[in-house]
């Protein structure tokens, strides 16, 4: 979870060329390809933060080294190791750290200030940063955490396939599951922040999914109530008509782009999770 003015301006389409003689069909095809190219270029410009994160995992390693000295990181590590054992405890804290560093570097890539992640034992972590100037940038900052978690899960799964070591499949399973759960379309999850940029009424579906998932996973009631208390105020305000002023700048195209990335991330996380669980024996490996 995480609590942006893009570094560059809006995309400007290339100037049109002087008209040339030629068959009409070729002109129409060129116009269509040009429109598609412009759409792709715009999407890449808006998503540069995520692309930078995925292309430069070395910064995650640097970030892990930095936050390793955080007392909240160390406290959470102690709790997780004491409760789950040292192997699962270390995996959990590293998965959370990678996720939060995704948010952190997304803030920085959008030219926004951000603080290093704060870890809360058994509740995860959060990264505080400046408010993005538009909801599309805010949605991409929210998506950055799950997408980095997806990359980590896929890498662990690949190592498991190559090495045959079931431990890596378990790491992939944990990372994919935690990040997929965090994509639930309700606040305070990252998925809720993304859905808020697309169409806030979808939060109702998120509440239903959250309750169903909590029952299925036997999540303790105290955790369910605390999460509800964190997210309900913002959702109630939205349904009472208190619209985020940034929503006025969200065009249909922006909503489609955000929705496409959200859907793609959901599907990819579900696929990696399914593959990892299929590779694990039913009795566990850690």
Summarised one tens digit per residue, pLDDT across range 70-100 is 788 889 999 999 999 888 899 999 999 999 9
**More confident: 284 or 158:** 158
The pLDDT assigned to 61 comes to: 61
Whether pLDDT at 231 is above 80: no
**More confident: 110 or 283:** 110
Alpha-carbon distance of 57 to 63, in angstroms, equals: 10
* Angle made by CA atoms 128, 111, 186, in degrees to the nearest 5: 40
Whether pLDDT at 226 is above 70: yes
The pLDDT assigned to 256 comes to: 94
Whether pLDDT at 17 is above 60: no
Q: What is the mean pLDDT of residues 129-134?
A: 91
The pLDDT assigned to 175 comes to: 95
Alpha-carbon distance of 95 to 124, in angstroms, equals: 10
pLDDT, tens digit (0-9, with 9 covering 90-100), for 151-209: 999 999 999 999 988 999 999 999 999 999 999 888 888 998 999 888 877 777 778 88
Whether pLDDT at 22 is above 50: no
**Furthest-apart CA atoms within the chain: distance in Å:** 76
The pLDDT assigned to 245 comes to: 81
Mean pLDDT (the chain, rounded): 78
**More confident: 208 or 103:** 103
Whether pLDDT at 263 is above 90: yes
- Predicted TM-score (pTM) of the model is 0.72
Q: Which of 149-153, 233-237, 254-258 is the least confident region?
A: 233-237
Alpha-carbon distance of 33 to 242, in angstroms, equals: 40
Locate 138 and state its tokens.
């805010």
Share above pLDDT 70 across residues of the chain, in percent, rounded to a whole number:
72
Locate 134 and state its tokens.
């538009």
């Amino acid at each position: 979870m995480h609590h942006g003015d893009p570094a560059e301006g809006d995309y400007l389409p290339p100037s049109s060329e002087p008209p040339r003689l030629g068959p009409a069909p070729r002109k129409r095809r060129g116009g269509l390809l040009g429109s598609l190219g412009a759409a792709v270029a715009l999407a890449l410009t808006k998503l540069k933060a995520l692309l930078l994160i995925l292309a430069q995992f070395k910064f995650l390693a640097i970030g892990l080294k930095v936050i390793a000295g955080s007392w909240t990181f160390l406290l959470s590590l102690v709790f997780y190791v004491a409760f789950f054992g040292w192997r699962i405890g270390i995996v959990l804290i590293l998965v959370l750290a990678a996720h939060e560093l995704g948010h952190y570097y997304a803030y920085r890539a959008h030219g926004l200030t951000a603080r290093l992640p704060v870890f809360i034992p058994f509740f995860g972590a959060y990264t505080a940063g400046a408010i993005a100037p538009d909801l599309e940038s805010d949605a991409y900052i929210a998506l950055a955490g799950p997408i980095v978690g997806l990359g980590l899960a896929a890498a662990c799964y690949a190592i498991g396939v190559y090495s045959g070591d079931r431990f890596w499949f378990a790491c992939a399973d944990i990372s994919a599951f935690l990040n997929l759960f965090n994509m639930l379309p309700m606040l305070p999850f990252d998925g809720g922040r993304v859905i808020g940029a697309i169409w806030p009424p979808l939060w109702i579906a998120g509440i239903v999914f959250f309750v169903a998932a909590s029952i299925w996973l036997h999540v303790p009631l105290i955790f369910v109530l605390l999460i509800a208390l964190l997210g309900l105020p913002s959702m109630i305000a939205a349904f009472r008509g208190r619209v985020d002023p940034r929503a006025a700048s969200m065009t249909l195209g922006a909503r489609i782009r955000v929705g496409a990335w959200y859907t793609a991330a959901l599907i990819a996380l579900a696929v990696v999770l399914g593959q990892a669980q299929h590779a694990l024996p039913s009795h566990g490996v850690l």
